[in-house]
Chain A
Amino acid sequence: MGSNDLPLTQHLNSEYRWGFTTDIEQEVVPAGLNEDVIRLISAKKQEPEFMLEWRLNAYRHWLTLEEPKWASVHYPPIDYQAIHYYAAPKQAKRPKSLDEVDPKLLATYEKLGIPLAERAALAGVAVDAVFDSVSVATTFKDRLEKLGIIFCSFSEAVRKHPDLVRQYLGSVVPYTDNYFAALNSAVFSDGSFVYVPKGVRCPMELSTYFRINARNTGQFERTLIIADEGAYVSYLEGCTAPSRDENQLHAAVVELIALKDAHIKYSTVQNWYPGDAEGRGGIYNFVTKRGECRGERSRISWTQVETGSAITWKYPSCILRGDDSVGEFYSVALTNNRQQADTGTKMIHIGRRTRSTIVAKGISAGRGRNAYRGLVRILDKAEGARNHTQCDSLLMGPNCAAHTFPYIEVKNPTAQVEHEATTSRVSEDQLFYLRSRGLTEEDAVNMIVNGFCKAVFRELPMEFAVEAQKLLSVSLEGAVG
């Protein structure tokens, strides 16, 4: 293809690079955004009136906003009128079997240890060609339904559970929140919806199903998770396999709501296409993720391992409204080659005795630029609130960069806020030490990096943690030496 340095519009319109055919019927709406396009999206999805109203309000608000520029990332201007906001079904442009998939991609799956049965689905082979995946998903769904757990696509939730959607949508991230959230609210394509009823503990990680079925939800994904009183759910987003996508801009919104005594654990492993070694191509991941601990003693934990995307710009946050509620953020962000990351979290302490923990690990290699940006805000009513922040950077090689921008605002004198930060390098001496014990240079680097990330990995569900470790080693291949 070789046209990666051309403007964004070309990426958006370009053929999928592995030469997939387009013989399946596709509905195309012309590029560009206006109220008619939004009406069309809503109509195609057979949405109720309130949903269309909401989208239109979001769009009208978006028109009044300017794209933010404050992040420590650089990219050419985005032409929002060149994006196709509706293209369905996304069944088009898919390989018919693994034989048609780029062998390099398959080799990476192999290295990551992705089960054979899942590789086809991940590579985007049409679902009907992937035996069993649909029936597996259906089995999960039945089990969940018996417990009263709703786990479905966002579109389905809008149709089948409009009251829940209406009650909670935008209640954590209103469309007025920021430029990209407003855009998402106007045009979101699809996503996931989870509702766990009172006192129910979701018996499985909501992951396998997601991996196989929620692919191609598009570039404007919308996720809403509600844990009712005393409920628990662990949700895994993404997967370690490198996801290729012809859409360069991804502006998703994720909202979490934890009611009294509820606990939501949200884990992300993100490995979108980072662009090539020269920084051409790659995904812009501009996502708004926020959870609200609405009830007393509720708890929200974000854990993320970010190795992909050309630019990662996101701050999974917690609003700690309920008294004694707890917010946690554990993050590993890796930038190699010319990748850029400006990521971190916001912890907003409103309730009394609210507690938050932030552990952020940034790894920079090649010409990667990695910035941690975090806000801890303690409001005046938050008696006895506590925060502990640990923010560490690991540098590999002379050309990478790491920055830390911590913001702390405390309006209650009883609060305790701690911030620790370190920057270290993978030293020649450490590498020599491990190699003299018989580890190859690559294994030595992996061991040092995994040790550095341990505090985050142990927060991930077991299987995910193993995959995340492998992912880091694949992402750092050739970073040293």
Chain B
Amino acid sequence: MLEIRDLHVSIGDKPILKGISLTILPGEVHAIMGPNGSGKSTLAQVLAGREGYTVTAGAVTWQGQDLLAMAPEERAWAGLFLGFQYPLEIPGVANVQLLKEAVNSQRRRKGLPELDAFDFLERVKASLKLLEMDEAMLYRGVNEGFSGGEKKRNEILQMLMLEPRLAILDETDSGLDIDALKIVARGVNALRGPERAILLVTHYQRLLEHITPDHVHVLADGRIVASGGRELALELEAKGYGWLTAEAGQEARP
């Protein structure tokens, strides 16, 4: 489904990713963990098509296509979703307006009819319920004046409405209290299925208590220094990142 081969990425002259290889198959949940500054968010942003990064080597294939050659919206149409670490505010644009436009722009590309207002509301209400969000959130400006937790839940709402093939969630757990974390996890688990894959980018393993990953990768200084199963995350929790980065011959980072 997604194949990353020896990906090198720089910002300006500064190399951030130094040879990432990763294969994600349908139905899988991968977690990428690592200390701050290890390149986790850069990987998420590059996969979604953010400008400002230079790919200096390597390739990314998405369902047989060259992902890096696609515009951000083309990636979305092809079923990719990025849950932002810092969701943006779009003042004056009602949340429901963006949801509807996003859903319908993707449906149009797939040759599907646009959802009418009734079907759309029915679906959005079901998702709101799952995420324990108030319907009034639909009519507020996109993330305008939302609390940190509301913004993250709103990302998950968008994800549920868009039903991506691959959801990349960039530190969706950061800044959430335990109740909110459980709700977000519930939303993510609702998306899991044999046709879909999820890539969780996180600093802490506590999210993984609620979303069980199939694979865990540790990123340090732009490289994957360890891969394993669920148990790797627990080991990290116990020992911290230091032993891995040291083991890989890398300078340990805070």
Contacts and interface: CB of A to CB of B under 8 A. Distances in A.
Interface of A: 427-430, 432-441, 443, 447-448, 450-455
B204 interface: no
A439 B93 contact: no
Q: Which A-B residue pairs are the 3 nearest by beta carbons? A: A451-B92, A451-B93, A438-B76
A447 B49 CA distance: 20
B117 interface: no
Contacts of B50: 432
A436 B93 contact: no
Contacts of A430: 88, 90
Interface stretch (B13-21, B100-108, B177-185, B228-236): B100-108
Contacts of B52: 428
B241 interface: no
Given A437-B98, A448-B93, 4 more contacts: A436-B75, A438-B76, A451-B142, A454-B92
A52 to B, nearest CB: 51
Contacts of B88: 427, 429-430, 433
24 contacts: A428-B52, A432-B48, A433-B84, A433-B87, A433-B90, A434-B98, A435-B71, A435-B73, A436-B48, A436-B81, A436-B82, A437-B98, A437-B158, A438-B105, A439-B105, A440-B73, A440-B105, A441-B71, A447-B93, A450-B92, A451-B92, A452-B91, A452-B92, A454-B93
Given A434-B98, A443-B101, A450 B162 contact: no
A438 B91 contact: no
A438 B106 contact: yes
Given A433-B87, A447-B101, A438 B73 contact: yes
A438 B77 contact: yes
Contact of B93 (A427, A429, A441, A450): A450
Contact of A439 (B84, B92, B102, B158): B102
B102 A451 contact: no
Interface of B: 48-52, 71-73, 75-77, 81-82, 84, 87-88, 90-93, 97-98, 101-102, 105-106, 109, 141-142, 158, 162
A362 to B, nearest CB: 15
B128 to A, nearest CB: 18
Contacts of A443: 101, 105
A375 B98 CA distance: 37
Given A451-B90, A454-B92, A439 B101 contact: yes
A448 B142 CA distance: 10
B103 to A, nearest CB: 8
A435 B87 CA distance: 13
Given A443-B101, A448-B93, A436 B76 contact: yes
Contacts of B82: 436
Contacts of A437: 76, 98, 101-102, 105, 158, 162
A458 B217 CA distance: 50
Nearest to A444: B73
A140 to B, nearest CB: 33
Nearest to B93: A451
A441 B51 CA distance: 13
Contacts, number: 77
A438 B102 contact: yes
Nearest to B109: A438
A441 B50 CA distance: 13
Contacts of B77: 438
B100 to A, nearest CB: 11
A338 to B, nearest CB: 28
A448 B90 contact: yes
A244 B59 CA distance: 52
A378 to B, nearest CB: 30
B92 A453 contact: yes
A447 B105 CA distance: 13
A432 B51 contact: yes
Contact of B76 (A435, A441, A447): A435
Contacts of B101: 437, 439, 443, 447
Given A438-B77, A447-B98, A432 B90 contact: no
A455 B90 contact: no
Contacts of B105: 437-440, 443
Contact of A438 (B84, B97, B162): B162
Contacts of B51: 428, 432
Nearest to B104: A438
Nearest to B50: A432
A434 B51 CA distance: 14
Nearest to A424: B91
Nearest to B91: A451
A428 B88 CA distance: 11
A284 to B, nearest CB: 31
Contacts of A429: 88
A437 B97 CA distance: 12
A438 B163 CA distance: 12
A455 B162 CA distance: 29
A455 B142 CA distance: 15
Contacts of A447: 90, 93, 97-98, 101
A427 B72 CA distance: 16
A455 B92 contact: yes
B138 to A, nearest CB: 15
A222 B187 CA distance: 61
B92 A436 contact: no
B150 to A, nearest CB: 16
A422 to B, nearest CB: 10
B90 A434 contact: yes
A137 B58 CA distance: 67
Contacts of B141: 451
Most central of B49, B101, B109, B158 by chain A CB within 10 Å? B101
A447 B97 CA distance: 9
Nearest to B80: A436
B52 to A, nearest CB: 8
B155 to A, nearest CB: 10
Contacts of B90: 430, 433-434, 447-448, 451
Contacts of B84: 433, 436
Contacts of A436: 48-49, 72-73, 75-76, 81-82, 84
Contacts of B106: 438
Contacts of B162: 437-438
Most central of A428, A439, A450, A452 by chain B CB within 10 Å? A439
A435 B92 contact: no
Contacts of A455: 92
Contacts of A451: 90-93, 141-142
